[in-house]
Amino acid sequence: MTTAAENRLRAGEAASEARGANERFRDRRDAHRDSVFFALCECGRRGCRSGIELTVHEYDAIRRNADWQIVVAGHEYPSHRLVRATERYLLVTVEGAPAVANAVGARSFA
Ligand SMILES: [Zn+2]
C-alpha cells in the first residue's frame, strides 16, 4: 500500500526527470530566443510524454521561478496550485514541498 506522501514523492521525481529533459532540450536551442521546442509536461505522472510547444524566451521566463511546473491542461493534480493558464499549458506549483525546485534548482541567468 502506498501513502499519499509516497505518491507525491514519486510524482516529484518524475516531474524532476521531465524538468531535466526540458533543460537539455532548451539548451540545444540556445542561439535564438524565438526558436520553438517541445517541452515535456512536468505533471509527474509516470509515462507522461505530452509535449508543450514553447519558445526559448517563454521557457526562460517560466524557469525564473524554480517551483513553477509546466503541465498540459488536464494534467494538474489536486495538490497543484494554478499560477497561470494559457492556451497551450498551465503553470502550477505543488502545495507543500517544492520537490522539483529542490532537485534541480532555479536556472541561473548571467
Ligand atoms: Zn502530463
Q: In this predicted model, what pLDDT tens digit does every residue of 74-90 receive, in sequence order?
A: 999 888 999 999 999 99
In the prediction, which pLDDT does 95 show? 78
In the prediction, which pLDDT does 41 show? 97
Tell me the CA–centroid distance for residue 72 and ligand 1, in Å.
6
- Tell me the pairing of strands 80-85 and 69-71: unpaired
What helix, strand, coil percent values describe the chain, rounded to 5? Answer: 35, 20, 45
In the prediction, which pLDDT does 88 show? 94
Tell me the CA–centroid distance for residue 110 and ligand 1, in Å.
31
Q: What is the pTM assigned to this prediction?
A: 0.71
In the prediction, which pLDDT does 106 show? 47
Backbone conformation region of residue 35, classed left if phi is above 0, alpha if psi is from -120 to 50, else beta:
beta
Tell me the CA–centroid distance for residue 22 and ligand 1, in Å.
13
Tell me the CA–centroid distance for residue 90 and ligand 1, in Å.
11
The more confidently predicted of residues 40 and 109 is 40
